[in-house]
Structures are given as structure tokens and as C-alpha cells.
Amino acid sequence: MSLVRDLPLAAASVSDDATFGEASRALSASKLAAIAVVDAEQRVTGVFTQDAQLRGLFPGYLAELRHTAFLDDDAEGLAERARTVGAEPVTRYLTKAPSLDAGESHTHAAELFLHSGLAALPVVDDGRFLGMLGQGALCDAADDLLERDQP
């Protein structure tokens, strides 16, 4: 049986006392859709997602609009918003997410991805953060099975 611990995991996390700005930079550097937020004991308290990054950096009313063609970009306003939100605690922007145990199967990981709607999930061992599993890494592992079975 293939286990989650055998998949490539990204060391993508910030501490729960990080700022939005620190989390945003870590998320962008990770190239994942989410990073873990961990406490001092390396236990996952939530994930910081690209959706949260967008909600923080752009005006909240955008989620209510169907089209923004009538809006002009306000570079100065966006820069001010970024400065303000950058200093806020990341904990204001957390998403609760299921954690994958390192000993779980690839099938269980696929199930959690499909049900959570997230494209990256934290992997834990004995409750402590090991790394983030991106949905792409799981798909790549499944593709490897297809290639072995093809003539």
C-alpha cells in the first residue's frame, strides 16, 4: 500500500504568531495553494490559503460583484490596504482543514482532497506537522501508476 509519507511533502508553514505579510510571502514562495499555520509544538492550527491571501489583499466587496469592468484599479488604495493587512495576525485569515496522517493511504488522501475543496493539505505524524501535500503531488503519483501499467 502506498502511504502519504512516501509522497513529496513541502516544508511550507508559518508559526501562528506570524503576520499576514509573512504568511503571504511564505505562501507565494511555496508555489502551493495553501500552507500550514502551526503552534509552538508544531501542531497545525489551520491553513493559510490563496483565497485568504486574495481576501486580505483586495477589497472585500469584490466577492459580491459579478464583473469589475466598471472599476478602475486604485494602485495607491491597494498599496495602502497591503500595508495595513500585512501587519495583521495570520490567525484572522485561517481556514480549518483536515490533516492527513502520514500513515494514511493515497486513496484516503484523494478522498480528503475531493471533500475539502483544498488543493494542499497538511500532513502530520503523531499530531505534529511534517509538511504540506499538494494535490499535484498526489496526481503525479497516480500518473506514475498509469505509466507502469501501459504497454
**Nearest-angstrom CA–CA distance, 33 and 11:** 13
Q: Which amino acid does the sequence have at 149?
A: D
- The answer to whether residue 76 scores a pLDDT higher than 60 is yes
- Asked if 47 and 122 count as a contact pair (C-beta separation under 8 A), the reply is yes
Say whether pLDDT at 65 is over 80.
no
The set of residues, in sequence order, having a beta carbon less than 8 Å from that of 56 and lying 6+ positions away, is 20, 24, 85, 88, 93
Q: What does the pLDDT average to over 130-144? A: 91
Higher pLDDT, 115 or 67: 115
Count other C-beta atoms under 10 Å from residue 135's C-beta: 18
pLDDT band at 33 (very low <50, low <70, confident <90, very high): very high
pLDDT averaged over the chain?
88
Distance, C-alpha 38 to centroid of its chain? 13
Residue with cell 485561517: 94
Question: What mean pLDDT is predicted for residues 7-35?
Answer: 97
Quick check: 62 pLDDT over 60?
no
pLDDT in tens, 90-116: 999 999 999 999 999 999 999 999 999
Number of domains composing the chain: 1
Return the CATH number at 119: 3.10.580.10
pTM metric for this prediction: 0.86
Range of the domain at 125: 4-149
pLDDT in tens, 35-61: 999 999 999 999 999 999 999 987 665
